[in-house]
């Protein structure tokens, strides 16, 4: 999720999502490094529970206006240099080979998007959603059904627009604990570290991890953050609460979504800075492990 410039609630140790105020509409500031994600909310997840939008009011005029803004953001993504680089990167032999392996036993891939944020309030979440929509389009018949989307900040108006764009809004707050019973791409742009931890914990079997691809924050950056923080007060708790995220690193092939030179251009180019905010430090994560790999030893 992308926090706005003001009215951001401080992380609560009993929560795993960072809720943001919807009062101020406009551009959100750039996301911070993975270190800030690590230092925020981590805890044992509450059980998944039914969810309804906090803002349950419907408004056809708002929906129509938001749909037009979303379509404009999709065009912006399509016409951007970043969008063209993203599509080119998808043709990388490493990525293509892993997708081929993923669909070897099942010809279709599900897409689950967590933590998109408020598409009505900010441009960055709209661009993040645009990427997911284009990814599904590129996958073509390989993509199984609609993109499944969840973020607790979504309003009823945003949910209606998501449905009109061909997405499905997940009815329960799964806390990131979706089991990969079929090949699944988990798209998690700049989510909290604990959501990745919950996802891995729910799929802590070789056969399930092998069905997953995670497009989200760099696991390598998280690992480096933990190493840098060793010896600092609270660092042991971080390693315990994110032990699956740290432990799985040796079995992950990580491919940066943007090559480093292009990431620098994104940050320095005013025209592409919104894309930097939405996508910096993100990677593709493919799980490469044998079916008999002992994962329990990684969390001791």
Q: How many domains does the chain have?
A: 1
- For β-strands 168-169 and 148-150, DSSP reports them as parallel
In a domain, 45, yes or no: no
Q: What is the pLDDT of residues 159-197, one digit of tens each?
A: 999 999 999 999 999 999 999 999 999 999 999 999 999
CA gap 46, 39 in Å, rounded: 19
CA gap 268, 250 in Å, rounded: 33
Give the position of tokens 């990677």.
283
Buried b / exposed e over 174-198, threshold 16 CB at 10 Å, is bbbbbebeebbbbbbbbbbbbbbbb
Predicted confidence at residue 206, as pLDDT, reads: 96
pTM of the model: 0.84
In a domain, 29, yes or no: no
Alpha carbon separation from 61 to 65, 66, 160, 252, 283 (Å, rounded): 6, 9, 12, 46, 37
In a domain, 3, yes or no: no
What residues make up the domain containing 239? 52-299
- Which residues of the chain, if any, have pLDDT below 50? 1-43
In a domain, 228, yes or no: yes
Distance of CA 30 to the CA centre of its chain: 16
In a domain, 94, yes or no: yes
Predicted confidence at residue 11, as pLDDT, reads: 31
CA gap 149, 245 in Å, rounded: 22
Distance of CA 12 to the CA centre of its chain: 20
In a domain, 35, yes or no: no
CA gap 121, 151 in Å, rounded: 14
**Which residues, 6 or more positions from 300, have their beta carbon under 8 angstroms from its beta carbon?**
none
**Which residues, 6 or more positions from 31, have their beta carbon under 8 angstroms from its beta carbon?**
2, 3, 190, 277, 278, 280, 281
Element holding 70 (H helix, E strand): helix 60-79
Phi-psi region of 192 (alpha: psi -120 to 50; beta: other; left: phi over 0): beta
The answer to whether the beta carbons of residues 190 and 37 sit under 8 Å apart is yes
In a domain, 176, yes or no: yes
Predicted confidence at residue 12, as pLDDT, reads: 34
In a domain, 41, yes or no: no
Phi and psi at residue 46, to the nearest 5°: -75, 160
Predicted confidence at residue 235, as pLDDT, reads: 52
Predicted confidence at residue 265, as pLDDT, reads: 59
The answer to whether the beta carbons of residues 153 and 169 sit under 8 Å apart is no
Distance of CA 287 to the CA centre of its chain: 17
State the CATH number of the domain containing residue 143: 3.40.50
Q: Closest by alpha carbon to 218, among 44, 70, 52, 31? A: 31
């Amino acid at each position: 999720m992308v926090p706005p410039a003001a009215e951001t609630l401080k992380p609560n140790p009993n929560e795993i999502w960072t809720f943001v105020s919807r009062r101020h509409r406009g551009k959100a500031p750039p996301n911070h490094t993975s270190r800030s994600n690590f230092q925020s909310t981590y805890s044992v997840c509450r059980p998944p529970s039914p969810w309804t939008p906090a803002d349950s009011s419907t408004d056809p005029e708002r929906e129509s206006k938001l749909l037009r803004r979303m379509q404009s953001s999709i065009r912006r993504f399509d016409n951007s240099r970043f969008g063209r680089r993203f599509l080119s990167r998808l043709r990388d032999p490493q990525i293509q080979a892993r997708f081929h392996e993923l669909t070897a036993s099942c010809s279709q891939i599900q897409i689950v998007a967590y933590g998109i944020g408020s598409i009505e309030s900010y441009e960055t979440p709209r661009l993040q959603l645009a990427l997911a929509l284009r990814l599904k389009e590129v996958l073509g018949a390989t993509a199984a059904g609609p993109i499944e989307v969840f973020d607790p900040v979504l309003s009823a108006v945003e949910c209606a627009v998501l449905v009109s764009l061909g997405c499905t809004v997940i009815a329960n707050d799964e806390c990131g604990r979706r089991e990969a019973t079929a090949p699944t791409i988990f798209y998690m742009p700049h989510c909290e570290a604990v959501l990745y931890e919950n996802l891995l914990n729910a799929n802590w079997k070789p056969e399930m991890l092998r069905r997953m691809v995670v497009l989200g924050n760099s696991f390598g950056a998280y690992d480096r953050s933990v190493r840098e923080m060793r010896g600092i007060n609270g660092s042991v708790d971080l390693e315990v609460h994110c032990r699956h995220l740290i432990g799985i690193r040796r079995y992950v092939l990580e491919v940066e979504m943007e090559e480093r030179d292009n990431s620098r251009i994104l940050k320095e180019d005013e025209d592409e800075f919104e894309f930097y905010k939405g996508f910096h430090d993100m990677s593709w994560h493919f799980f490469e492990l044998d079916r008999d790999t002992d994962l329990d030893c990684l969390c001791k």
